[in-house]
Structure 1
Amino acid sequence: MVSREEKLTDITDWLAISALTEQPIRETIRSFSKRLSNCGIPVDRINCSTFQRHQIMGAMDTTWEIDVGVSDTEFVPKSVIINSDTNNTPAGSLARSASDFERYDLRNSETRGKFPVFEKLNARGFCDYFIIKQSYGRHWESRKTATNSEGVYGSFATKNSSGFSDDQIDEIKSLWPALSLFLKTATEQMLSAQLLEAYVGRIPARNILSGMIERGDGNRISCVLWYSDLRDSTRLSTSLPTDEYLELLNNYFDCTAGSVIENGGEVLKFIGDGVMAIFPLDERDEKMAFSSALSAARQSLVKADCLRSKTSASSAGDFVFGIGLHAGDVTLGNVGTAGRLDMTVIGASANQVTRIEALTKSLAISVLASPRFFQSSPEGLTSIGKFPVPDLGGMTEIYSLVEK
């Protein structure tokens, strides 16, 4: 017969293996609850949260309840944490405490009044509750709370009328370091992937994480190409204060790159004030890819017009840009030195779309498209004549948006 101590050791070993094999948080929490039950520990609710540094995400949160199951792993934006009353939660209280453990008897009316969540839990039959933390050792500042430790927080609740015994709490405490390590590892893996995607884009991030990390590694993509460039950027950068110029740049990127993303495209590179984006043809209906790229171009212009009307008294919306549309094959690959690589887009089609965009300045037309783009998506475009386009071979017919 397996002893209680052996069962607890098995759980610790299983959590370590789960961390090493990158098991999903959701499934691991569900299995952890079953293993506690097999040890005779009456846990009816588990909530696990991790708080960490991230430019967007401030926390990860997962909850399991015996009558509900496991919630999806939820990422809580940093802005929500900063602007919410985190003081009025058990985790917020523990974060400010020198202790790493607090226990609450939910049968006591005075205790239930400490935090809003306690009344809700007691109404659903929960009697005993404790929360435990494992700090990472780093700290971050919140505008509305005291200094809070980054780390893992876990709360455990039971509907057992006798609550948890001291021995049962000690047993969960003995498992907590292993569970904390699993949660920290799993969360940072997920956040690393999101952070990588935020900096290099979804497709490059996917390629890097799948092992495409050697110099010269690359893959060919058939796609619609979308390139935009800011007009008079040199004049703007020298005439505006740095903070105003950065605000203008970010507004411009919101109009252009933001529209690409909202229409299902992929921003591959910010090249100074240029935006190189694609709408892959192997991931969607070809007609939809062209239509989405055209919609993104129109949306960019609408956004810019709205911004100018709202910021007429400042320089924040005082910018003009051009957009080139094309289609073809490009290679997304690693270039650079052995110690410093960049996953970038290369190929004739990538050069050609920048040449098409360059015409928007001399022709004073905001959006121009190539013959290849027009062949697959003629609706909404009209020919404006033939023009010399380097890399496209002689005089090339060019198309612009039909005014709506």
Structure 2
Amino acid sequence: MTEAEHDLIDWLSCQALLNTDMAILLQGFCERLFAFGVPIARGHLSTATLDPCQRGFSLTWHKGSGLSRQQSFLYAQEQPQGWYQSPMYYLLQHDLAEIHCRLLPAGEPDFPVFDEFRQAGLTDYYAALFGFGWATDTRQAENIRQLGMICTWASDAPDGFANQLQRLKRLLPTFALAVKSTMLTQITQTVFASYLGSDAAARVLRGEVRRGIAQRIHAAICFADFRGFTRLADTIPGDELMAMLNRYLECIVKPIEQQGGEVLKFMGDGLLATFELTNHSASARCEAAVSAAMEALLNVKTLNNERRATHEPVLELDLVLHLGEVSYGNVGSASRLDFTVIGPAVNEAARMEALCGSLNVNLIVSKAFRDMIGTSGHRLVHLGQHRLRGVREPKSLYTMADSSLP
């Protein structure tokens, strides 16, 4: 192995430790390969990943223009045109670790995409597969599909890669390891945020993982539940019910996140979210919570109108906005934890939500919350004082005036 190869391996190792962005990693690797004599004209990588929104993505680098294409592959998206006639699909279907094809003169196997490569002046093509070790299947193809990388490399030199191909092959395992390192970091952050919420995920990844580690925070609390869901659950098939619930939950989650709130957990057909308050922004944060609640109610109304038009069952959204001090942190057993908020204010919010049906309202606002908001306060009407189950003193409750509701 040459000194230049050792230097490139050192660089890749450093990038892996630094969790360098994948695009920078591919571009830096290709440029360094070319600089010490590997006649690379095109580099491409495609990876499977763990992400609730996409199943994978790809990056492509071209000599002279750098990164020219970045593409995400969504779960609902069909495979790109030509995928089933591509060399990458061929590798997966035949459970091969690599494939080397001369483009000029044409060799075997040949693929339709090679015509495009020849027109671009490319002469040689090499592809390799690397699984990242998370597969439960021993077949290479399934390993890649679960979590791994396909990388392809093309040359425009008259003789192709020639004897430089062996140098490329020696370096690719380290490149794959750097990609894996960056991928696993991204996957960890994405999965934690998807299941815990972005703030809770960041806290856990910073080391707040022991039971009992929590902090007291002042927060606006949003408690939401869908009225009528339990009744419908007995009449709708499970897969249809889940699809329906997902559409309704999307109506709430999106505005909460857009307004800076944190969805902490889903509880059956409801959710718990918070808007953490600080002294200088408490009123503004409560106003943001009001905006999120109003948009959520409007979203559900719009969805219900669409479903009624097609004679589908609908749900009513009940929302509570409360305010108080809560403990935010780890709760559970020694080895099975939840990162959430607990405290009397959370319990009170749940009890308030249970009154929405009897009070015939879809939004209840506590007096503590009402006293904190600014311009939205004049739109509230008093619902009177009401006893909450398990709470000693009756509470003054409010809702939005009919003219303000969606």
TM-score tier, shorter chain, comes to 0.7 to 0.9
Rounded Cα–Cα distance in structure 2 between residues aligned with 1:69 and 1:338: 50
Q: Report the secondary structure of 2:314's partner residue.
A: coil
Give how far 1:169 is off.
0.8
Rounded Cα–Cα distance in structure 2 between residues aligned with 1:259 and 1:204: 19
Tell whether the 8 Å contact from 1:328 to 1:349 is kept in structure 2 after alignment. yes
Residues 230-249 of structure 1 aligned to structure 2 (within 5 Å)? 230-249=226-245
Give how far 1:295 is off.
3.0
Match of 1:163 in 2: 160
Give how far 1:213 is off.
0.6
Q: Confirm whether residue 206 of structure 1 aligns to residue 213 of structure 2.
A: no
Rounded Cα–Cα distance in structure 2 between residues aligned with 1:242 and 1:314: 20
Match of 2:19 in 1: 22
Match of 1:190 in 2: 186
* Cα deviations by residue, 1:175-234 (Å, 9 ceiling, x for unpaired): 112212221232122122212221121111111111111111223444332111222444
Tell whether the 8 Å contact from 1:352 to 1:392 is kept in structure 2 after alignment. no
Match of 1:9 in 2: 6
TM-score by length of 2: 0.82
Equivalent residue letter for 2:341: V
Distance 1:89 1:97, change over 3 A: same
Which shows bigger deviation, 149-158 or 244-253? 244-253
**Aligned residue among 231, 256, 268 for 1:272:** 268
Q: Report the secondary structure of 2:33's partner residue.
A: helix
Equivalent residue letter for 2:398: I
Rounded Cα–Cα distance in structure 2 between residues aligned with 1:341 and 1:59: 30
Match of 1:345 in 2: 341
Q: Report the secondary structure of 2:275's partner residue.
A: strand
Q: Report the secondary structure of 1:365's partner residue.
A: coil
Q: Confirm whether residue 172 of structure 1 aligns to residue 168 of structure 2.
A: yes
Match of 1:396 in 2: 396
Q: Report the secondary structure of 1:352's partner residue.
A: helix
Rounded Cα–Cα distance in structure 1 between residues aligned with 2:260 and 2:104: 51
Q: Confirm whether residue 225 of structure 1 aligns to residue 221 of structure 2.
A: yes
Rounded Cα–Cα distance in structure 2 between residues aligned with 1:117 and 1:278: 54
Which shows bigger deviation, 5-14 or 194-203? 5-14
Q: Report the secondary structure of 1:11's partner residue.
A: helix
Tell whether the 8 Å contact from 1:325 to 1:356 is kept in structure 2 after alignment. no
Match of 1:133 in 2: 129
Match of 1:387 in 2: 385
* Cα deviations by residue, 1:330-367 (Å, 9 ceiling, x for unpaired): 33210111111111111333233323323322211011
Give how far 1:270 is off.
1.1
Q: Confirm whether residue 361 of structure 1 aligns to residue 351 of structure 2.
A: no
Residues 55-66 of structure 1 aligned to structure 2 (within 5 Å)? 55-66=52-63
Match of 1:310 in 2: 306
**Aligned residue among 252, 256, 262 for 1:260:** 256
Equivalent residue letter for 1:403: S
Equivalent residue letter for 1:388: H
Equivalent residue letter for 2:209: I
Tell whether the 8 Å contact from 2:217 to 2:325 is kept in structure 1 after alignment. yes
Distance 1:125 1:11, change over 3 A: same
Give how far 1:325 is off.
1.2
Tell whether the 8 Å contact from 1:50 to 1:153 is kept in structure 2 after alignment. yes
Give how far 1:324 is off.
0.6
Rounded Cα–Cα distance in structure 2 between residues aligned with 1:395 and 1:8: 72
Tell whether the 8 Å contact from 2:132 to 2:143 is kept in structure 1 after alignment. no
Distance 1:124 1:316, change over 3 A: same
Q: Report the secondary structure of 1:311's partner residue.
A: helix
Gap regions ≥5 residues in structure 1: 141-145
Q: Report the secondary structure of 1:197's partner residue.
A: helix
Alignment RMSD (CA, Å): 3.6
Rounded Cα–Cα distance in structure 1 between residues aligned with 2:329 and 2:242: 29
Rounded Cα–Cα distance in structure 2 between residues aligned with 1:74 and 1:311: 34
* Cα deviations by residue, 1:95-120 (Å, 9 ceiling, x for unpaired): 22343333445556899x9345862x
Match of 1:97 in 2: 94
Which shows bigger deviation, 168-177 or 233-242? 233-242
Rounded Cα–Cα distance in structure 2 between residues aligned with 1:249 and 1:102: 46
Distance 1:280 1:392, change over 3 A: farther
Which shows bigger deviation, 378-387 or 197-206? 378-387
Rounded Cα–Cα distance in structure 1 between residues aligned with 2:119 and 2:161: 18
Distance 1:244 1:37, change over 3 A: closer
Distance 1:312 1:57, change over 3 A: same
Tell whether the 8 Å contact from 1:368 to 1:401 is kept in structure 2 after alignment. no
Q: How many residues align?
A: 394
Tell whether the 8 Å contact from 1:62 to 1:73 is kept in structure 2 after alignment. yes
Match of 1:250 in 2: 246
Give how far 1:161 is off.
4.0
Equivalent residue letter for 1:185: S
Tell whether the 8 Å contact from 2:130 to 2:150 is kept in structure 1 after alignment. yes
Rounded Cα–Cα distance in structure 2 between residues aligned with 1:263 and 1:116: 46
Q: Confirm whether residue 295 of structure 1 aligns to residue 275 of structure 2.
A: no
